[in-house]
Amino acid sequence: MGAAALLSALGGVLGQTPGSSHPSTTKNLGAVFNTTEVTPNILLSEELVDDYAPTTYLDESLTGTYMVMLVDLAIPQSSITTTGPEFYPGLVYCRTTRLHWYQGNLTQTSNGTFASNSSAIATYGGPAPGLDDIAHTYTFYLFKQPDNFTLPAWDAGRTYNPISVYDRMNFSVDAIAAVAGAPIAANYFRVQDPNNTAYGTADNGTCPLNSTTTATPTRDVASTGAAMRSELGWGLALVAVATVAFSML
Ligand SMILES: *[C@@H]1O[C@H](CO)[C@@H](O)[C@H](O)[C@H]1NC(C)=O
Ligand SMILES: *[C@@H]1O[C@H](CO)[C@@H](O)[C@H](O)[C@H]1NC(C)=O
Ligand SMILES: *[C@@H]1O[C@H](CO)[C@@H](O)[C@H](O)[C@H]1NC(C)=O
Ligand SMILES: *[C@@H]1O[C@H](CO)[C@@H](O)[C@H](O)[C@H]1NC(C)=O
Ligand SMILES: *[C@@H]1O[C@H](CO)[C@@H](O)[C@H](O)[C@H]1NC(C)=O
Ligand SMILES: *[C@@H]1O[C@H](CO)[C@@H](O)[C@H](O)[C@H]1NC(C)=O
Ligand SMILES: *[C@@H]1O[C@H](CO)[C@@H](O)[C@H](O)[C@H]1NC(C)=O
Ligand SMILES: *[C@@H]1O[C@H](CO)[C@@H](O)[C@H](O)[C@H]1NC(C)=O
Ligand SMILES: *[C@@H]1O[C@H](CO)[C@@H](O)[C@H](O)[C@H]1NC(C)=O
């Protein structure tokens, strides 16, 4: 095996970010939901990850200030109704991103866990992927927080709190990395709707609706209920936008 192939194979083993997603890192960010340790690509129950952000930690000592975020990399692009010119790319064709959690001003405590007294930039919203969609992939990124950090243009000017369905989509982690540097550590897990009986259309997302076609999207009642249950406050937004599928969070 050549050096490049060996490095690539090691990357596959050691990578703490999924597939060819970017930015990437080989350093593991510890994350624990209740008592369950996240290991890269582990499939977790929606119930476990529903309500509370995990404890995050690193097995080395850091000084300074950090930020952690959790991003779904598998939102079907069709769920963004205001079709813009550009989507931040998700894991595969026609999938994009959605921010689930963004906490800044973190410092490491003596046992390695991260703690902050600041309000979250985006409060934690539990995964609730669509009924009969593939399992979505949720990635944690730990970044060093630059002095006087403000959100880069791509991600700025949005309403992240209270939890917004749409303003949290199309979130760019690369834009954060461009100002904060490469992530220090990362980790990822998958969640699927517990009521899945099928897995949608393979890995590809659904491309944005073409308004000149006759296809009528159907609203997924079961997973809309899940979203409202797990992220109180979404109800109004869900009702207001009506028929386009929301089953992808
Ligand atoms: C956490 O784990 C305990 C012990 O297994 C369990 O009783 C409790 O319901 C769990 N809490 C959540 C939020 O999953
Ligand atoms: C995604 O975000 C970028 C930067 O804010 C914006 O230019 C683009 O229109 C957005 N795309 C969609 C589909 O919302
Ligand atoms: C950190 O805390 C300061 C002071 O409260 C606040 O202005 C700033 O927005 C916080 N930064 C982040 C990334 O949370
Ligand atoms: C780690 O330290 C923090 C701050 O002292 C504390 O709140 C937390 O319970 C500790 N966690 C563990 C697993 O010991
Ligand atoms: C939060 O505030 C408390 C009380 O002032 C302080 O003891 C603690 O160290 C602070 N934690 C962090 C992470 O800044
Ligand atoms: C951060 O802001 C403070 C107060 O405005 C300023 O004194 C300091 O130079 C800034 N630091 C950086 C690195 O821009
Ligand atoms: C996924 O999208 C790619 C790019 O358009 C296409 O080549 C491929 O056939 C699609 N796969 C499925 C299963 O739809
Ligand atoms: C939408 O569908 C029409 C009819 O099939 C096609 O001509 C048009 O190119 C499509 N537009 C986009 C943006 O895909
Ligand atoms: C799964 O289906 C059950 C029975 O209809 C329902 O109570 C539950 O809320 C559903 N779970 C989710 C996450 O949609």
Q: How many angstroms separate the alpha carbon of residue 118 from the centre of ligand 3?
A: 6
Nearest to 53 by CA among 143, 120, 153: 120
Cα-based distances in Å from 2 to 5, 7, 8, 48: 5, 9, 10, 42
Instruction: Quickly list H helices, the chain.
Output: 3-14, 46-49, 173-180, 221-230, 234-241
Q: Which of 61, 113, 114, 116 to mutate to test the pocket of ligand 4 (most atoms within 8 A of CB)?
A: 113
The pLDDT of residue 113 is: 98
Closest atom of ligand 1 to CA, residue 52: 13
- The H-or-E segment that residue 66 falls in is strand 66-76
Give 137-178 as a DSSP string: EEEEEEEE--TT----GGG-S---TTT-TTTTBS--HHHHHH
Residue 238 and residue 224 in contact, taking contact as beta carbons nearer than 8 Å: yes
Q: How many angstroms separate the alpha carbon of residue 43 from the centre of ligand 1?
A: 17
Q: What is the dihedral of CA 134, 238, 98, 55, to 10 degrees?
A: -90
Determine if ligand 2 sits within 6 Å of the CB of residue 171: no
Q: How many angstroms separate the alpha carbon of residue 101 from the centre of ligand 9?
A: 24
The pLDDT of residue 208 is: 57
Q: What is the 3-state composition of the chain as percent helix, strand, coil, each rounded to the nearest 5?
A: 20, 25, 55
The pLDDT of residue 239 is: 26
- Contacts (Cβ under 8 Å, ≥6 apart) of 225: none
Could you read off the pLDDT of 170-181 as tens digits, one per residue? 999 999 999 999
Determine if ligand 6 sits within 6 Å of the CB of residue 147: yes
3 state SS of 99: strand
Q: Give the C-alpha separation, 202 to 50, whole Å.
A: 25
The pLDDT of residue 81 is: 62
Determine if ligand 6 sits within 6 Å of the CB of residue 213: no
The pLDDT of residue 248 is: 53
The pLDDT of residue 80 is: 73
Number of residues that this document lists for the chain: 249
Q: Which two tokens stand for residue 110?
A: 């003596």
Residue 140 and residue 188 in contact, taking contact as beta carbons nearer than 8 Å: yes
The pLDDT of residue 200 is: 59
Sign (positive or negative) of CA dihedral 219, 225, 229, 234: positive
Domains of the chain: residue spans and CATH: 14-228 (3.90.280.10)
Q: How many angstroms separate the alpha carbon of residue 103 from the centre of ligand 3?
A: 10
Closest residue CA from atom 11 of ligand 2: 84
Query: What residues of the chain score a pLDDT lower than 50?
Result: 1-13, 202, 210-247
